[in-house]
Chains A and B, each alone.
Chain A
């Protein structure tokens, strides 16, 4: 009789724990989805800011063409190529705007300064959004690796979330001269 009581108590505690963990996982997945949507939006903001700058006539024609090309590739890339296209955009931005002195010269024009500030902010937001997204993913992966969670399939059929790995460094010249 006593044993039965103990078993019932243990099962009850286990049940509460499992449903709490399942709820926790569920919330995690929902947050990751939301973070992913934010990340996509921030990359669009970044490539949009590059396009804006490229089409403003504030930079020389050759640089404008290169920037516009990289930005539109990033915006139209398919899911598989997206990370590579964003990294390529970063490489082009870095090539053009890594030197604070170069960027300072561009900033002499007030319109250019505004456009560069917007671009710098967009670059930083994108980089931050990716860090936040990846932190949420790492937390969820940690939870899903727990033995109980794996054995009992508490995560259901939700795919294992993945971090986004790409180069989204803010070009130094942009960062150093922003106001």
Chain B
């Protein structure tokens, strides 16, 4: 199959959507499909061979903030060129509601168009002003995918469309790495992952619970990975409990996997703003029992508590209690680990790719005029 994927964000800027498209494109190629990814950026960037660029995005005020988008006649011409040269069987647009390449590709594509919406957002003025235009562009869609229930709800409420749910993927086996001996601790190792100063990641909740956990298990240890003002946060921890908290700063993918594999509990004390718990799936893949806030997205990934423990959002006391219970009960942790190692396969790219290819298959069959070119004037 020849598949064209439109990415709304520049390839050299790290982000969830880019990682999703990269991993997915690589799995498709492994299966023998031809993939071309269209993204903002310059040719001079250090890009994989399957990425085609349309030039630097420009910053303009849109949707109440500054957006970096690609538009204008030159970009439009490049998008059309890409569509003609690619002779795609399916065009897959990511974040179709963002004013970018996706919309242009959707507009001119001949082949059936499949879209994936990632983000969950509240309605904004600009979105409603553009509502009519978006809706008529969405008419071109044959199939719409949302990566989470919240992303789907955003579509239903703001754009009056519906989508099927196919979650984000990860390569489960890449997280199957050995634990690092120097991160082992006699009473158990816990870990946290996320920007330290972003309050919705919930580090403050975990540190509030920490003294009680550390009192119950004096030889336990907490690994904190993520960028932020480490010194400031460290000095906020009571002295007695300070040295058992190890700040790792930003970590590489390898270190992240090793940290999770070394954990007796991975703790996700987030207080909101997560539309999909990919990091929980990563912890499950690495074999770390998960203890997480009872956010909707997390509840879904943990299958309502079957694959990991859930505690009320923002409740430090409950979090501490549950962590102590889990540290004291190796059999419970083993049960979570066992169930999670099966459950997490639901998010493996091998399965997610099957599901997306099934959607492509149906999209092609649902397009009566596919194969005949209606493109003109290129």
Interface residues of A (CB under 8 A from B): 24, 27-28, 30-31, 33-35, 37-38, 41-42, 100, 104, 121, 124-125, 127-129, 131-132, 134-136, 138-139, 175-179
Contacts and interface: CB of A to CB of B under 8 A. Distances in A.
Contacts of B358: 121, 124-125, 128
Helix, strand, loop or mixed for chain A's interface?
helix
Contact of B346 (A33, A121, A138, A175): A175
B366 A31 contact: yes
Contacts of B354: 121
A134 B350 CA distance: 28
A37 B367 CA distance: 11
Interface string B355-374: 10011001101111100000
B343 A132 contact: no
Contact of B362 (A28, A100, A132): A132
Contacts of A179: 345, 348, 350-351
B160 to A, nearest CB: 8
Given A121-B358, A176-B303, A179-B351, A132 B366 contact: yes
B143 interface: yes
21 contacts: A31-B367, A34-B367, A34-B368, A38-B365, A100-B306, A104-B342, A121-B358, A124-B355, A124-B358, A128-B164, A128-B358, A128-B362, A131-B162, A131-B164, A132-B142, A132-B143, A132-B362, A132-B363, A134-B162, A176-B346, A178-B345
B340 to A, nearest CB: 11
B367 to A, nearest CB: 7
A104 B338 CA distance: 12
B337 interface: no
B144 to A, nearest CB: 7
Contacts, number: 71
Interface of B: 138-139, 141-144, 161-164, 303, 306, 342-343, 345-346, 348, 350-351, 354-355, 358-359, 362-363, 365-369
Contacts of A131: 162-164
B163 A34 contact: no
B366 A35 contact: yes
Nearest to B350: A179
A178 B142 contact: no
B284 to A, nearest CB: 13
A176 B343 contact: yes
B334 to A, nearest CB: 16
Given A139-B138, A179-B350, 9 more contacts: A31-B366, A31-B367, A35-B366, A38-B362, A41-B365, A125-B362, A132-B362, A175-B346, A178-B345
Contacts of A27: 369
A135 B369 contact: no
A175 B143 CA distance: 21
A30 B368 contact: yes
A178 B365 contact: no
